[in-house]
Amino acid sequence: TGIDGIPRSIGLIQPAFLFLLIATSRWLVKKWLGTDFSNKINDDNKIRILIYGSGKAGQQLASSLSLSNEFKLISFIDDNKSFWSGTIDGYSVNPPSSISNLIKSKGVKQLWLAIPNLSGKKRQKLINSLRQYSVHVRTLPTISDLVSGKVRLSDLRELNINELLNREAVVPNNIL
């Protein structure tokens, strides 16, 4: 049984060759679209942030961010000149003067203050200097608030009005 001029082994070779061709093409498409493309899509959906402060608190915050699917760390910002143009865990450390450029070029939406032991006046001065940028500012609790001693993403909180005003809250007088 067979067709004249066509060897019988072609009935085995042709399906095997077709299977290898289809499997290879699917593997190449999966490799091309599966890793690079999905990583790029996932990175585009993440909220881009800067961490102001590259000390222990900033480093712990950055390590917590590596597990997050919601945020993407762009860079550290620090006042200390010795840290500038260096890297921490692969992220660059930039001076405060580069904040505007990073916000515009990288699409940064949030800036997180990772300096928990900063005094009230210095914190107020820093917050005032950040008002000119169109980013959402979040801060870590103070050292006295950090009982566990570890900084996590859940430790971040919104700035409260007392930090912005740099004074204690006045209790309203309800007696008329």
Q: Give me the pLDDT at residue 166, please.
A: 60
Q: Give me the pLDDT at residue 157, please.
A: 59
Radius of gyration of the chain, Cα coordinates, nearest whole angstrom: 27
Q: Give me the pLDDT at residue 170, please.
A: 74
Contact 132, 147 (CB under 8 A): no
Nearest-CA neighbor of 77 among 105, 58, 104, 60?
A: 58
State mean pLDDT over 100-116.
86
State mean pLDDT over 157-164.
60
pLDDT digits (tens, 9 = 90+) for 12-66: 899 999 999 999 999 988 887 776 666 666 667 788 899 988 888 888 888 888 7
d(CA 54, CA 141): 16
**Would you tell me how many other CB atoms lie within 10 Å of the CB of residue 47?**
13
Which residue has better confidence, 95 or 157? 95
Strand stretches in the chain, DSSP E: 47-52, 71-77, 87-88, 91-94, 110-113, 136-139, 157-158
Q: Give me the pLDDT at residue 143, please.
A: 53
DSSP 107: -
Q: Give me the pLDDT at residue 151, please.
A: 47
Contact 69, 38 (CB under 8 A): no
